[in-house]
Chain A
């Protein structure tokens, strides 16, 4: 068994080397050669996420090679806030309430789409078909067919399609995943993740406009979102797939509206088990009434566990304890030819105690969750006119399996992926 395991590590180290290259999506030198022209960007959907992305673009000057030329939102207050935000940074992007006008009238190289889930597919597809590169927030689309249609539009148009799974761009995650692929935690035996919150997930609706409920709280209605599955779980399912370097073969899930019986249509708690073809399971759950456990992904190997959100590696055989002081002194004395008694049981005596071991930090030096880097990379990819295809695929299958999880909850059955959604 030991021998096999070593072989495995050797093999994965080699396999991992190829992936390590692919996993670091930097193309700076390449980018400098590619073009000196500024990349023209627009943000479509300037709600809370859209404005956060705008702010990263504006405040941090992530790269001197871009400009924000237009913003679009079909809800007045969101658009006004976006304009006010831009003003604070002394820029004056064009404003639109209809994205099709934006892409027909404003020459842009790339768009960042941060509309609600059901408003991703048609906007993305129209942009891609017009030769505009797209960074679309996760998850990809509300339906399996729309998800596939987005992917097909990317392939057919040749335009870049990047899905907003920011962990793919975080140096902390890139480092951890490279190390997992190089065998540092051994053979992955299981993965476990959860996202626990204590919040009803509602946003305030203006008093005099109750008809805005569904627009503002779109996450809670099935027509627009699959709730916890597409909004939270998708991030962590992406990480599990990344760790495995493959996608699940089946999912079994359940969920219910157990606590917030306020008219919402999506579960307020759920649990799912994803199986991979080698028998590895990814166990997932999410809930909204208690945040004690927070958000975490455990990648569990026979050598160590990595807890990716908290940036911690727990080795099965941690660093050995320090030599016991009395015996160490005795040995030292013997080596020096001395006959001296060794102290034992004194005030500093700490025999028998299990070494208290809280693991080690995986990576130092990542600020933020990778969203800033995600934008930098998107701009780089636009300049290079290409992006790593595996990243798009990662977004694609994550969305497909998030939606298949919904099918499992609804049917009570174990679900596999229909052939028509397999893209190889």
Chain B
């Protein structure tokens, strides 16, 4: 995922925490082996190479995620799109690119320039699995972050009732976030560089906006923060209606 993972666990059971950490690490590495489009050993890489030629049976983990991505595309008016790579203009947005076969867990690309890219959702998928691991081990308080752009909180900070964050705006106004069992996802320019593409135009989103989404579900947090960068501002309320969101914050940098 090309990013740093931070895990904060607190309490007295050090060896349990080590075990949980190892489990999380292993899980994220396993997921990378499914969802990476860069790793030639990864399932997604293989699918990208071969799914146009014939229908491929894929793992149930991958199949489920692809199914939900299609659903997310509808919920975001087309602004979240795992197949954005193949799009060049408006006409292609409505095109159906993926054919799923529920009986066989099969997938086939209907166009030859289609590539699945889970970059915008991968950290959310990982956090969803991490949350299950924490539950399984009975961990009541934790914080897990992927590169500070995707954060999962469980329970509370050791010295307070919640996990305290402040979402910075360059104008000096800090919005305090009191997180307990929450997920946040932040998207925008990275080091001043655009990286999210508008699937309807194929263009990089150059807006100086940064958006921070707080929800109870890590995957929809990721989907939303990406879609809200890709979509023009007037579409936001319409998109947000389709999700259960706790908070959405924006800032824009003049730099």
Contact between B164 and A327 (Cβ–Cβ < 8 Å)? no
Which residues of A sit under 8 angstroms from B191, Cβ to Cβ?
350, 353
State whether the Cβ of A342 lies closer than 8 Å to any Cβ in chain B: yes
Which residues of A sit under 8 angstroms from B184, Cβ to Cβ?
344
A327-B6 contact given A342-B165, A349-B168, CB 8 Å threshold: yes
A334-B8 contact given A326-B165, A343-B174, A344-B168, CB 8 Å threshold: yes
Which residues of A sit under 8 angstroms from B147, Cβ to Cβ?
324, 351-353
Residue ID in chain B nearest A328 by CB atoms: B6
Instruction: Give a binary string over B128-152; 1 marks a CB under 8 Å from any A CB, 0 the rest.
Output: 0000000000000001011111010
State whether the Cβ of B12 lies closer than 8 Å to any Cβ in chain A: no
B51 to chain A minimum Cβ distance, whole angstroms, is 26
State whether the Cβ of A216 lies closer than 8 Å to any Cβ in chain B: no
Task: Choose among B6, B158, B195 the residue that contacts A334 (Cβ–Cβ < 8 A).
Answer: B158
Contact between B159 and A338 (Cβ–Cβ < 8 Å)? yes
Instruction: Give a binary string over B160-189; 1 marks a CB under 8 Å from any A CB, 0 the rest.
Output: 100011111110001011000000101010
Instruction: Give a binary string over A333-354; 1 marks a CB under 8 Å from any B CB, 0 the rest.
Output: 0100111111111110111111
State whether the Cβ of B34 lies closer than 8 Å to any Cβ in chain A: no
A345-B159 contact given A324-B145, A354-B2, CB 8 Å threshold: no
- Total interface residues on B, using CB and 8 Å? 40
Which residues of B sit under 8 angstroms from A340, Cβ to Cβ?
164
Q: Is the interface of A mostly helix, strand, loop or mixed?
A: loop
State whether the Cβ of B247 lies closer than 8 Å to any Cβ in chain A: no
State whether the Cβ of A422 lies closer than 8 Å to any Cβ in chain B: no
B230 to chain A minimum Cβ distance, whole angstroms, is 15
A351-B170 contact given A334-B158, A340-B164, A345-B212, CB 8 Å threshold: no
Contact between A351 and B164 (Cβ–Cβ < 8 Å)? no
Contact between B8 and A339 (Cβ–Cβ < 8 Å)? no
Contact between B168 and A345 (Cβ–Cβ < 8 Å)? yes
Which residues of A sit under 8 angstroms from B164, Cβ to Cβ?
339-342
Task: Choose among A339, A341, A349 the residue that contacts B165 (Cβ–Cβ < 8 A).
Answer: A341
Q: Which of A337, A343, A344 has the most CB of B within 10 A?
A: A344
Instruction: Give a binary string over B235-255; 1 marks a CB under 8 Å from any A CB, 0 the rest.
Output: 000000000000000010101
Interface residue ranges of A132-180 to B (CB < 8 Å): none
Contact between A344 and B190 (Cβ–Cβ < 8 Å)? no
Contact between B166 and A320 (Cβ–Cβ < 8 Å)? no
Which residues of B sit under 8 angstroms from A353, Cβ to Cβ?
147, 190-191, 193
A345-B145 contact given A334-B10, A339-B159, CB 8 Å threshold: no
Q: Which of A327, A330, A347, A351 has the most CB of B within 10 A?
A: A351
Contact between B148 and A330 (Cβ–Cβ < 8 Å)? no
A321–B145 Cα distance when bound, in Å, is: 14
Contact between B159 and A337 (Cβ–Cβ < 8 Å)? yes
Contact between B210 and A334 (Cβ–Cβ < 8 Å)? no
State whether the Cβ of B17 lies closer than 8 Å to any Cβ in chain A: no
Residue ID in chain B nearest A347 by CB atoms: B170
Contact between B158 and A351 (Cβ–Cβ < 8 Å)? no
State whether the Cβ of B3 lies closer than 8 Å to any Cβ in chain A: yes
Interface residue ranges of B107-157 to A (CB < 8 Å): 123, 143, 145-149, 151, 157
Residue ID in chain A nearest B253 by CB atoms: A347
A189 to chain B minimum Cβ distance, whole angstroms, is 13
A319–B127 Cα distance when bound, in Å, is: 24
State whether the Cβ of B95 lies closer than 8 Å to any Cβ in chain A: no
Interface residue ranges of A341-369 to B (CB < 8 Å): 341-347, 349-355
A353–B119 Cα distance when bound, in Å, is: 11
Residue ID in chain A nearest B167 by CB atoms: A345
Which residues of B sit under 8 angstroms from A210, Cβ to Cβ?
none
A355–B2 Cα distance when bound, in Å, is: 7
Instruction: Give a binary string over B60-95; 1 marks a CB under 8 Å from any A CB, 0 the rest.
Output: 000000000000000000000000000000000000
State whether the Cβ of A331 lies closer than 8 Å to any Cβ in chain B: yes
Interface residue ranges of B200-253 to A (CB < 8 Å): 210, 212, 251, 253
A349–B170 Cα distance when bound, in Å, is: 11
State whether the Cβ of A3 lies closer than 8 Å to any Cβ in chain B: no
State whether the Cβ of A424 lies closer than 8 Å to any Cβ in chain B: no
B255 to chain A minimum Cβ distance, whole angstroms, is 7
Contact between B159 and A327 (Cβ–Cβ < 8 Å)? no
Task: Choose among B148, B195, B212, B255 the residue that contacts A327 (Cβ–Cβ < 8 A).
Answer: B148
Which residues of B sit under 8 angstroms from A344, Cβ to Cβ?
148, 151, 165-168, 177, 184, 186, 212
A327–B145 Cα distance when bound, in Å, is: 8
Which residues of B sit under 8 angstroms from A345, Cβ to Cβ?
148, 167-168, 186, 188, 210, 212, 251
Residue ID in chain B nearest A340 by CB atoms: B164
Task: Choose among A330, A339, A343, A351 the residue that contacts B143 (Cβ–Cβ < 8 A).
Answer: A330
Contact between B168 and A352 (Cβ–Cβ < 8 Å)? no
Interface residue ranges of A223-264 to B (CB < 8 Å): none
Contact between A330 and B8 (Cβ–Cβ < 8 Å)? yes
B171 to chain A minimum Cβ distance, whole angstroms, is 10
B46 to chain A minimum Cβ distance, whole angstroms, is 20
Contact between A351 and B186 (Cβ–Cβ < 8 Å)? yes
Contact between B190 and A351 (Cβ–Cβ < 8 Å)? yes
B210 to chain A minimum Cβ distance, whole angstroms, is 6
Which residues of A sit under 8 angstroms from B167, Cβ to Cβ?
344-345
Which residues of B sit under 8 angstroms from A64, Cβ to Cβ?
none
The 8 A-B pairs with the shortest beta carbon distances in the complex, nearest first, are A346-B168, A351-B149, A341-B164, A339-B159, A339-B160, A351-B147, A324-B148, A354-B2
Known: A321-B3, A345-B167. 4 other contacts (CB 8 A): A320-B4, A337-B159, A346-B170, A351-B147
User: Could you list some 16 contacts between A and B, CB below 8 A?
Assistant: A320-B4, A321-B3, A323-B6, A324-B145, A324-B148, A326-B165, A334-B10, A344-B165, A344-B166, A344-B168, A344-B177, A344-B186, A344-B212, A351-B147, A352-B146, A353-B190
Q: Which A residues lie at the B interface, using CB under 8 A?
A: 320-321, 323-327, 330-331, 334, 337-347, 349-355
Q: Which B residues lie at the A interface, using CB under 8 A?
A: 2-4, 6, 8, 10, 123, 143, 145-149, 151, 157-160, 164-170, 174, 176-177, 184, 186, 188, 190-191, 193, 195, 210, 212, 251, 253, 255
